[in-house]
């Protein structure tokens, strides 16, 4: 089985990748190397995804995928985005969600979208990028026990559910990360591209 290092220690995120990339063995980078988290100093999702994937691929001399994801909220255009994970002081999912609801209290628009950009970095090759987006809106209070991050607040109209109310299989079919992983998988499975 072909192995790819994943530049994440988020168990839930790794599950979403492994669920779609069943014919590959994803190795969390911490199983191979003991380093501090890679600083996300980029100004865009793409730059941060590159920083994570390229840094580890060069250190380990192995193919590596890194991603950066975030929530973009129409009524709060200068907040969240690449800072979504570090939105609140505590930087936890619950404190981030609480702060988001607080900031949206007097706002009319609840429109939002999730964005994921994946970087596949293979030593000796130019980096490959894959992007996925999911349109939705922010509900007034958390709903559902699945998923992670802002999933309990992110409502999808045609499902009449938040992301946290969907199963992993349901979420992975429609989510921003699921769409980006599908594009990545298409390239990985393409026999005309010699990745390994």
* pLDDT value of residue 105: 94
* pLDDT value of residue 102: 96
Residue (of 39, 1, 46, 48) closest to 23 by Cα position: 1
First to last CA, the chain: 11
3-state secondary structure of 82: helix
Mean pLDDT of all residues in 79-93: 93
User: Which pLDDT tens digit goes with each residue over 11-50?
Assistant: 989 999 999 999 999 999 999 999 988 988 999 999 999 9
Catalytic annotation, pick one of 9, 36, 68, 151? 68
d(CA 48, CA 8): 12
Of the pLDDT bands very low, low, confident and very high (cuts 50, 70, 90), residue 196 is: low
- The continuous run of DSSP H or E covering 17 comes out as helix 11-20
Query: Architecture of domain 2-188 in CATH?
Result: Alpha-Beta Complex (3.90)
User: Which pLDDT tens digit goes with each residue over 94-112?
Assistant: 999 999 999 999 899 999 9
User: Which pLDDT tens digit goes with each residue over 112-141?
Assistant: 999 999 999 999 999 999 999 999 999 999
Domain ranges of the chain: 2-188
Q: How many residues does the chain have?
A: 196
Quick check: 192 pLDDT over 80?
Answer: no
Is pTM beyond 0.85? Reply is: yes
User: Which pLDDT tens digit goes with each residue over 161-186?
Assistant: 999 999 999 999 999 999 999 999 99
Q: In what order do the strands lie in the sheet with 111-121?
A: 24-28, 2-6, 64-73, 111-121, 128-138, 154-156, 161-162
- The continuous run of DSSP H or E covering 15 comes out as helix 11-20
8: which 2 tokens?
Answer: 């994440």
Mean pLDDT of all residues in 54-74: 96
* pLDDT value of residue 50: 98
38: which 2 tokens?
Answer: 């890679």
Quick check: 191 pLDDT over 80?
Answer: no
* pLDDT value of residue 194: 73
Strands (E), the chain: 2-6, 24-28, 64-73, 111-121, 128-138, 154-156, 161-162
Is residue 182 among the annotated active site residues?
A: no
């Amino acid at each position: 089985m072909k192995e790819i290092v994943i530049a994440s220690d988020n168990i839930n995120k790794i599950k979403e990748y492994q669920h779609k990339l069943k014919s590959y063995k994803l190795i969390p980078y911490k199983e191979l190397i003991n380093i501090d988290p890679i600083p996300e100093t980029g100004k865009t999702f793409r730059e941060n995804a590159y920083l994570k994937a390229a840094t580890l691929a060069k250190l380990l001399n192995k193919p590596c995928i890194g991603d950066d994801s975030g929530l973009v909220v129409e009524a709060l255009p200068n907040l969240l985005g690449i800072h979504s994970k570090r939105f609140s002081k505590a930087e936890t999912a619950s404190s981030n969600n609480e702060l988001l609801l607080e900031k949206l209290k007097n706002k009319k628009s609840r429109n939002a979208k999730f964005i994921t950009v994946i970087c596949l970095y293979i030593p000796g090759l130019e980096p490959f990028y894959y992007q996925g987006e999911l349109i939705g809106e922010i509900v007034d209070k958390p709903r559902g026990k699945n998923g992670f991050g802002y999933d309990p607040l992110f409502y999808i109209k045609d499902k009449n559910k938040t992301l946290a109310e969907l199963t992993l299989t349901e979420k992975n079919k429609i989510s921003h990360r699921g769409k980006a992983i599908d594009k990545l998988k298409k390239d990985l499975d393409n026999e005309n591209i010699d990745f390994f």
